[in-house]
Every structure is written in structure tokens, then in C-alpha cells.
Structure 1
Amino acid sequence: MEMPLSQLKILDLSYNPLTDAGVENIFQALLSKKCELETLRLCACHITKTSCVTLAKVLQQSSLRELDLSGNLLGDEGVKLVCTGLMSPHCRLNTLGLKDCKLYKGSCEALAPVLWSFSELKDLDLSNNDLPNAGLRRLSVGLRNPSCSLRVLRMSGCQITERGCALLASALIRNPHHLEELDLSYNHPEESGIQLLSARLEDPHCHLQKLNIEHVGERHLKWGFKKYAVDLKFDWSDGVDLSQDRKKATRRNMEMFYSPFDSGDDDMSILPKSNLQNSQVEVQCFPSLSGERFYWEVDWTGMVFIGMRQRLGFNSFEKYYLACSRDQLIAFHNNRVSTKSVSHLKKPNPDPQRIGVYLDWPAGILSFYSVSSGERTFLHTFHTTFSAPVVPFFSFAKPHPYDGIGSVTLRTF
């Protein structure tokens, strides 16, 4: 980026395990006067608050106009450091993405003075962070200030209630001339909150043009991705034993396997051992998923494939899945290793290992996470377009002395 001939304007390094050490080199290049980069996307790059010290300097000196840090564990401390850069009169940033960055009310407190200052910030995405009313109360102080020129605010999946909607509506009354788009989907505004904001949408003196309040309800007040939890159960499948509640599936380990369609008489057909013992067996879940966001977690043992498929035709499917073994995790699309495989990760902890799966069907996003002590660590994301309902599925490799017999257990939140 320091090369005069480069003239690079946009750089997207999202979904790569750069870590703090890797992005430090990028930030140092951005501090060069020769660098003319305007857009930098670093989604899910394993960045923490450590990188935010240098980033604050970058925001004060660089030509950056758009920055996306979504999916990194910045926390409130990281955002406070970023805000020191945003407050600089030399900062030119107008678009900031902080979706799913483990932010709480402390981040809102740090962002409020940025909004009421003469910041150039026009587009702010805080979606998928737990920012209940206490956080929104602090943020609204900045929003209602006439100096705030923010045009787009996304707070989808942020635990906002009727009280939060009242704070936002009040801010729009005090400062009606700038905010044009407000996304509050996947929250719990209740009917009274919806009415308060709808009134601002209909107010001819208010510039609000787009209000997203889809997929709302009390279940979205849960913390983290649990607000998108779906209750999956296993469907019946050859070669798999299911628990009574259909929450656990174990690959059957038998010398011989009898077909479920045999008559029980002397003409009983027996499938050869190789049909079960030496091949993959698969089990799918119900219900099928479409139209909104979903999240589930699964504990696994052995060697299993955790994924999702959608039907494309009569006998045609598109599959996205994660191959899990004691040695590695690898992402696949239609039996081909993804261009961004996750085999670089450290070996999983001893079985059982827990995997979290997040599906944003309208956005075409399917993400996998490693889950330990309730904390998610990003593994891999697929970007696609879903045109039909998708079905979660699990496959079990043939038993191996090293990995053992495969099993999966769907967690209940």
C-alpha cells in the first residue's frame, strides 16, 4: 500500500485469521502519507482491543472513509480506543461497522460524544450486540444533539424494548433532520414502541424514510446469538440411533444391518457390512429453515460433518458443511474444500467439541463457531444466496480407532 503506483482504494481482508499481529502491519502502512486507501474491511479477523490503540492513530491521520470491524472481539474497551480516533477533527471516516463485536452499554457511552461532535460519521452498524435500554439511553444523548449528522443506524438484534424505542423517538423529535434509516429488526419493541417510531416515519418534519421492525418478539431479548435459537430435532435415518427426545444421534456400530423395510420372514434382506461399516451415514433435522435468522449448537464426538443443504432440483442439492475430527476442522462446499478452509486452527479440545451454527437466510450467510464456556470463536463463513428452505444435516464417517464412533447432540437453550 505504500507504493506510489498502487493507488489502492479498497481492501477487503475479511474472514482471514490475521490476528492483532497481522493487522498491525496493515495499520502501519495506513499511517504512510503515500497510502490513499479509503475502504478497509476486516470482518472476523481475530482482532481484539490490542489493535485499537494503533487504529485510533490511523483514524486521525489516514484517508479512510469506510471501516468494517464486524465479528471481532473488540469489547467496550476496544471501542473506547476507536472513539478517541473518531473524535479527531482530522478523522474522515463516515461508515463504521461494529456488528457482533461483544459490545455493551460502555460502547454506547463512548460513541455518544462522537455523535454530538462534528464527526463525519454517517453510517453506524451496531447490530448483534447486547445493547439494552441502559446503553441506548447513553447513545440517544448523542443522537438528539443537533450536531449529530448520522443518517443510517442499524441496531438489529440488540435487545431493544419499548423503552428503547421511546428514547429513539424522542431523539428524532429533538433532531429530526438527519437520520434517514433505522434498523430495529430482531428486537422486542412491542406495539407501543412500534407506534412511537411509526409516528416519526409519518411526521413530515422528520427525515426518517426507512424503518425496519421485522421479526420482533420477546425471544429476541436473550443474550448473544441465543436470541436466534431454533429447536431442532433429528429425523429418522438408516444407520443412526436416536435418543428418545431426538436430540442425540449416534452412528450405529453393527456387524450387520437389517433394512427397516424387510418383511420379517425368511426372505429378509440383509445389507452387507460394507454398506454401513465402511460408508458415511447421514441424518437430517427438522424443521427446515427460511426467511429469518437462526442459531443452534451441537456437541460432537468421532468424525462428523456438520452442515446445511438446500434443494436445487428434483435430485440436486447444494451443501455447505464443516468436517470435524480430532485433528482439524475443514470447510466444504459441495464436497470441495472451501477457498478459506479452517484447517489452520488449533486442534479442538478433547471430545466432545461444541460447534455453533448461525444462519442469516435473507442475507445468505452461514457461519460456524467453536464454542467454549459460552464464548464463540469464529471459524468460517459461507456467503451465498438461498432460494429455498434449507435443512441442517449431519454425516458420520466410518468408525475409526483414533476418532471413535461419531455422535452429535443438539443443545437446548
Structure 2
Amino acid sequence: MLPVVALVLAFVALVIVLEVVSYASLKRIPAVATEEFPEIDRTLLDKFSSYDPELGWSPQPNREKQKDTGDHLPGEEVRSVVTYSTDEYGSRVCVPKDRDEDAELTVSTYGDSYCFCREVDDDETFQHYLSTDLDTHVSNYGGGNYGLDQALMRLKRQYPDEETDYVFMVVTAASIARILSVWKHYQEFGNILAVKPRYVLENGSLERVENPVQEKEELLDLPAKADVLREYDFHYDHWFKPHYATFPYTSDFLDRPEYLRYALYTGGKELERRAGRSVPGVDFDQAQTQSALRMERPRVHYHERLFETHEPLFDAQIEEFVDYADEQEFTPVFVMVQQLRYATYESEHGPIYGDLMDRLDESYDDLETIDMARHLDPDDGVESLYVERGEGGHYSPETNQQIADVLASVIDEEP
């Protein structure tokens, strides 16, 4: 009898260990959600310096931040730190030229982190190169993780204080998901501070749903806002729930080989960090990045479907951009750029946004459109357009120079 009891106890202990290890591993995998409402403590809230009650978050004026891009291995000297600086308007600084109200040509840019140009220095943004090409100040009102909706809202708030002849709206295809979002965590698990407003279509017209969090302190008790977050965030039902890990966690962890690979690479990086040296012949950082990109494929397919099902909402916001341009008398330019996860997929399958750009050209005579994928032709594969390490997926300084040349050509071609 005792051997049977011992075997049962050993089996139970093994199951418990597997569950604990599986849960801990799943928590570190970006493609898995393990909590609907992770705790937000005071320390984390205090670090959220970009909180904005109207937009959710926004780059703050007169700030300078230095960011370690991760361009080094454990134990190595930090070799790559980028500087993000903003001016009194909250625009990323334009090094070549200061604002000049009497300038013959004025230009501003709005959009997401690709507009802001994350992972490169202030003098490596496409706005920097464009300013040099045009010999005028170019404002940069990009916001990390912004969708077309937030970029449009920021434009309407900022433009009366800085009118420009041209406004470039620069976003990635991820905007189709971001304009359906109210709480980023429901699609980007762990992004728990990012609560935002959005637009909805009511009888064919855009209606704004205000940011559910009007006071920063309210982020400490998001469960109290569960009903409104779930109601207005499309991804709660369509992305969060299908990726929400539940007991037994072992099956969720072991059913997907990529989860196990990612956990092993993460463990390897942790061992390197603790040892203060890298394992010869093994690049765990690159392996982890590639694993994360493979896990991103379902998200790319998901976003591709969203362009099929929610085109009217996206198109309505483009129309709002065009109408605002007509009202304020500036030339609107819509620019589609690519995240790395889309670029690798689209190089084989075509754009996930289908014929969007062609449709916009046909629909709006006053709108200039630029599909940057048609202008960037890398010799060494699409990966060569992006920074090599760090957070990954943002354009390199060399690519930003090419982008600036393309944008400058639009202005040069204007009569």
C-alpha cells in the first residue's frame, strides 16, 4: 500500500511542479495572457509620466530621455543609447531648424512610434533628414503605440497652436487594431497603463468614446471600469479571451512548441545575465526575437482580417483627416509604413491592408498617399531596413533618410 501512496504523492508533486513552472513560463510569453487585471501599484503609476486624460498618453513637453536599446550582450559595455528630446510643444526636437512663423514652407507629422522614430537618436529621425532637405522646421508629433484615432485627435488638439502647410499622417497597419482598442492589455498583454479614447461608427458618422480614465489615480482600480472596457474594446472577445491561459496551465504551455522554445531562450538570456558573460556560439537574444516574431504571425493574420471587417471605421477616420485638412487649409498626406512583423509577412503575401491605398487615391482627390513598402527596396531582405537589436522593428537611420527623400518628393512635386 505504501508504494502506491508514495507513487500518488510523487505524481501529485510532479503535477504541482509542472503547473508552477508552466504558469511562470506562460507569464513571460508575450503571446499569452495570464491575468485580466494585473495589479497596478503606486510605484508603477508614478513612472507613467506621459499620462494624458484626453489622449490616454502623450509625449510631454521639454523632456529628454535616454534609452538603452539593448544593443549589447550581458556583461558587455552599453554601446547604444538613444536620446529622445521634446520641445515646448511636446514635439520631438528638430535639430536642423527652429520654428519660424515666417517660413515659406511649414511641415508637421503625426502618427505612431514610426512617426516618432523610436530606437534612433534625435538627429536620425526622418523628420531630421526632411528638415535638412527642405530647409525648414519639421514637427514630430508621433506617439508610441498610437492608432490613427489618437493621432487624429492629437492633430485636432495641436494644429490650432501650430498651423502648417503640410501634415503627414504616418502610421503602421497596426492602426486597424488600435482604433478598435480602449485598453491595450486586451490585445498587447501586459500593456496595462494604456487606456485610451476611440471612435465608433454610429449611423455612418464618427462618434468619440472618451477616455474611460479621466484621472490618473483611476488606473489603480481598473476592475471598477471592467464593463466599459469590455464593451468598447473589440479585442476583449476576439483576442484576449482566446489567448487567456487558464488551469491546467501545463496543457496551455506544452501544447505549443513555440512557447517552450521561447521559454528556453528566455532562460538562456537569464543565465547569461547572472553569469555576466555570453554563451559562445549561441545568440539567445536573436533566437528569442525570432521566436517572438513567429508567435506574432497569428496577430498579423488577425489584423489582416480586421481590414476586411472594419474598413468602414478606418476609412471614416481618413475622411475625417481629409475634411479637417480642407477646413484648416493644409495639404494632407497619408503614409503607410511597416512594422517588421508585417514586412516579413507581406514580402511573401502582399499587404495585409489589401487595396486600401488605391481606394484612398480613388476616393480623395485632395489626399496624397504614400505606401512606403513600394518605395523601400532593401538589398539584404526586409530585416535590413530596421535597427538590428533593441526593441526591434523600428526603422534604422539609413531607412529614415530614404523615407525623408520620399516625403520631400511629394512636396517638390506640388505645383
Relative to the length of structure 2, the TM-score reads: 0.25
Quick check: which one's strand share is greater? Answer: 1
> Looking at CA atoms only, which structure, 1 or 2, has the larger radius of gyration?
1
